[in-house]
Amino acid sequence: MKIAIGNDHMAVDMKNHIKKYLEDKGHTIVNFGTDTPDRTDYPIYAKKVADSVVSKECELGILICGTGIGISIAANKVKGIRAAVCSEPYSAALTRQHNNANIIAFGAKVIGTATAETIVDAFINAEYEGGRHARRVDMISDIEEGKFNV
């Protein structure tokens, strides 16, 4: 699988660990993140990863900052992105299965590398179930399109 990864200065080590972990499993990783600890702005990397997923250059995306929160919020501003910040594998799997999420985010200052590995595995290995979830995912898309009225 071809996976985009992006990070800010707070998550260089975590990004490098996850990148190698996934490459060792045979995945192709496209690095859109910073490789230095010099202060930078996470929206830059959120946009690059989100654009690569929306354009289908990459199948899925992984975003990492200090908490995962800011970078996921920024990614969700890109039309067609459903990014979820997760700190454990159960939610990571369900966000793919129920929400058809295409980007996972987590915090390098929140979780360790072993937990990050289990989150990434759960996310990548899960598949969107559609069915009863499709109506809600369609509603999310309608909100994004400005077509959803309550």
* Sequential pLDDT tens for the chain (150 residues): 999 999 999 999 999 999 999 999 999 999 999 999 999 999 999 999 999 999 999 999 999 999 999 999 999 999 999 999 999 999 999 999 999 999 999 999 999 999 999 999 999 999 999 999 999 999 999 999 889 888
- Give residue 149's pLDDT: 82
- Beta carbons within 8 Å of 84's beta carbon, 6+ residues apart: 72, 91, 92, 95, 99, 101, 103, 104, 105
> What is the phi/psi pair of residue 25, to 5°?
-90, 0
- Beta carbons within 8 Å of 43's beta carbon, 6+ residues apart: 70, 71, 74
Beta bridge partners of 31: 5
- Answer whether 88's CB lies under 8 Å from 71's CB: no
Per DSSP, helices labelled H in the chain are 12-24, 42-54, 69-75, 89-99, 113-125, 134-145
Q: What does DSSP assign to residue 19?
A: H
Closest by Cα among 53, 32, 58, 42 to 10: 42
Closest by Cα among 17, 7, 3, 4 to 107: 7
Three-state DSSP class for residue 104: strand
- Give residue 148's pLDDT: 85
Q: In the structure encoding, which two tokens stand for residue 12, read together?
A: 């260089």
Closest by Cα among 56, 51, 38, 54 to 6: 51
- Give residue 23's pLDDT: 98
Q: Which residues are catalytic?
A: 65, 98
Give 68-109 pLDDT, tens digit per residue. Answer: 999 999 999 999 999 999 999 999 999 999 999 999 999 999
- Give residue 40's pLDDT: 97
